[in-house]
Amino acid sequence: MSDIKISIVIPTYQEVQNIPLICEQVSSSLDGHSFEIIFVDDNSQDGSYEAVKSISDRIPARIIVRTEERGLSTAVIRGIEEAKGKYVVVMDCDLSHPSTAVQPMVAKLESGQNDFVVGSRYIDGGSFDDDWGFFRLLNSKIATWLALPLCHIKDPMSGFFAFEREKFETCAHLTPTGYKIGLEIMVKGEFNAPGEHPIHFKDREHGESKLSLKEQLLYLRHLRRLYRFKYPTISEFAQFGIVGGTGFVVDTLIYFALQIYFGLGHNLARAISFWPAATWNWIWNRTITFTHREKSKHLTQWLSFLATSLAGFAMNFGAYTVLTAYVPFFIEHKFFALIIGVLVGMGFNFMMARIFVFKQLDDEILEEEKEPHHLK
């Protein structure tokens, strides 16, 4: 067994100016504690390797240079796999995360108060630099709000987090996308008492931010995967409903266009507009909602989707007709009957789509995805 207590994992790319500074800060903050610093570098070729080597004789730091793989999330995973300490702390190399918070965060793990701790900007005592502009703050807040249902902390976007190394083995099928690997570990691992420690988030002094529009789009993709993992049925239903909403817009536009520009009667227009709208829904449900399910032949699946959609429409119309014919409240408030009809039809379509149109993958594949897994 290693006698190292804390492993600090720091992903880097062209951070040579910050490496000596963060090593000194961590060493000063953890004086008297056994620790190691693991830099995982994406082949910066800027002197980072030499910088760590020159420090390693007096500070327990080492560097892993990756030449075949890129990305912050996979770098963090590699560092965690290499960690020898009982506790792992992940932090950025840009000096935005205060090293003085490392020991208090680990103390919360040692006491059993929490089993996953993030350095938080959004709890009492937390803060960030005053020069954050409105749009940067708004961007951060929106990204945070989108992730809140996945966990029970106020700053799920934090890249500064700590947990016991053994807990990493409980993480099920990690699929790191983008830069928020801490959120994925917290959601997919067996962490029952996540907590936060207040920090002051400081803007970087050297180098350039790696956050780009591409990374933000990857974050949205990442969130979708995590929602599907934690709330599989609700997530599918929400996406199915959103796709159905866009299909309703397509249906309505074609319905009116056929009457205005081609002079068709409303009944014929209604009969025709259903088909392209249903096809639209099938395409986007295949592309977005049920990407993780079996991909059968296009024609077979399309026809199956149209058949279930027709049955759903019949239930929609039937519910509306019955309610407006026999229930006094809905006779007076037909719009509410319309809503109920839509929900009944959508619920039926959703169940049929899950069971008959977009079938589950084989049990063996599903079991593989549920097994604890980390990149090797």
**Which tops the pLDDT comparison, 205 or 364?**
205
Query: For residues 150 and 153, what is the distance between their CA atoms, to the nearest angstrom?
Result: 9
Q: Which of 14-28, 81-95, 161-175 has the lowest mean pLDDT?
A: 161-175
Structure tokens at 356: 């008959």
Strands (E), the chain: 6-12, 35-41, 61-65, 87-90, 116-120, 127-128, 161-164, 194-198, 200-201
**Which tops the pLDDT comparison, 211 or 268?**
268
Query: For residues 285 and 226, what is the distance between their CA atoms, to the nearest angstrom?
Result: 18
pLDDT > 70? residue 365: no
- What does the pLDDT read at residue 368? 42
- What does the pLDDT read at residue 355? 87
Structure tokens at 369: 């995805």
Q: How confident is the model at residue 375 (pLDDT cuts 50, 70, 90)?
A: very low
**146-153 contacts: CB < 8 A, separation 24 or more?**
146/220, 146/223, 147/180, 147/183, 147/223, 147/226, 149/227, 149/231, 150/183, 150/187, 150/223, 150/226, 150/227, 150/230, 151/183, 151/186, 151/187, 151/194, 152/194, 153/118, 153/120, 153/194, 153/195, 153/196
CB burial class (10 A; 0-12, 13-18, 19+) of residue 342?
middle
**Cβ proximity of 63 and 39 under 8 Å:** yes
Query: For residues 26 and 14, what is the distance between their CA atoms, to the nearest angstrom?
Result: 19
Q: Reduced to 3 DSSP states, what percent helix, strand and coil does the chain have, rounded to the nearest 5? A: 55, 10, 30
Contacts of 264 (CB under 8 A, 6+ apart): 258, 272
Q: Which of 213-227, 254-268, 302-316 has the lowest mean pLDDT?
A: 213-227
Query: In this predicted model, what pLDDT tens digit does every residue of 197-220 receive, in sequence order?
Result: 999 988 766 555 555 567 677 777
CA distances from 62 to 18, 34, 35, 73, 159 (A): 15, 15, 12, 19, 21
Distance between terminal CA atoms of the chain? Answer: 21
Query: What percentage of the chain exceeds 90 in pLDDT?
Result: 48
